[in-house]
Amino acid sequence: MAGWKISSGKTCWHIPCRGLGAIQRMKSIPATLLPSLLLAAACGISTAGTPAMSPPPNVSQMLPGTSVFTAGRIELQSGTGAFWSFATDESDGGSLDFFNTTYRLGIMLTDVKGEGWMRGNSELLIEGFYSSVFQGPGDWLAGSSLLMRYNFVPQDEKWIPYLQVGAGGLWNDVHKDRSQSFLGQCFEFNFQASVGLRYQFNERWGATVEGSYRYITNFGNAERDSGLNSAGAMVGLVRTF
């Protein structure tokens, strides 16, 4: 076959001639680079450069379990708001209204399941709260509750309504004022039911607004126990880990 023979030591390369243009281009290549280029050509390696690498896919699309509402994910939540009592008996002794601050530790119990508007998951929360009385007898109430929540999770996980119920106990100094009959001892039981809406800024941060009904009683274990019915609202922040 017609062509060039180029020797370098004991190695001989044979270059087939494919036209004058190819020969002229070969002549313009520095002698020091010619052996490397020929070896690359023999191995089938393109000398025109490697193809551009495509960017890696989104990590959240690659890895399972990146949803905020994946089973096992932990959250810290804080909230603040106010509650107003409504008497069921005129002899209860007026009103008892208070500001409420709460901190919650939550864990997602399940992954998101279901279809349509019932698509969602379950969450367990432990709550600690402190309430400061601004209208009525006493100064404070403080306690903790165990809460169960169902999150209604849409596909985009942005606006998430939820329903929540819970129960626990609290301590107070309201019972010291014997002119009221709401609370008759230092320790009382509390129950709550809430409806809320959560907005998720990103995978780490969210905000909540919540309306709640709370009922406090000692189940007749004290002389005074008309019970305290109250309703209120809170706003809060959520940090997911």
Q: Are residues 104 and 213 in the same domain?
A: yes
| Angstrom distance (rounded) from CA 80 to CA 90 | 29
Q: Are 226 and 218 in contact (CB under 8 A)?
A: no
pLDDT on residue 40: 55
* Structural domain contains residue 201: yes
Q: Are residues 154 and 92 in the same domain?
A: yes
Q: What is the CATH number of the domain that holds 223?
A: 2.40.160.20
* Digit-coded pLDDT (tens) for 88-137: 665 566 799 999 999 999 999 999 999 999 999 999 999 999 999 999 99
* Structural domain contains residue 51: no
Q: Are residues 74 and 145 in the same domain?
A: yes
* Structural domain contains residue 206: yes
Q: Are residues 85 and 19 in the same domain?
A: no
| Angstrom distance (rounded) from CA 28 to CA 12 | 20
Residues 6+ apart with CB under 8 A from 115: none
* Structural domain contains residue 156: yes
Q: What is the pLDDT along the chain (241 residues), one digit of tens a residue?
A: 555 555 555 555 555 545 445 545 555 555 555 555 555 555 554 444 545 455 554 433 434 457 999 999 999 999 999 999 987 665 566 799 999 999 999 999 999 999 999 999 999 999 999 999 999 999 999 999 999 999 999 999 999 999 999 999 999 999 999 989 899 999 999 999 999 999 999 999 999 999 999 999 999 999 898 899 999 999 999 999 9
Number of structural domains (the chain) is 2
Q: Are residues 35 and 81 in the same domain?
A: no
What range does the domain containing 168 cover?
69-240
Q: Are 29 and 47 in contact (CB under 8 A)?
A: no
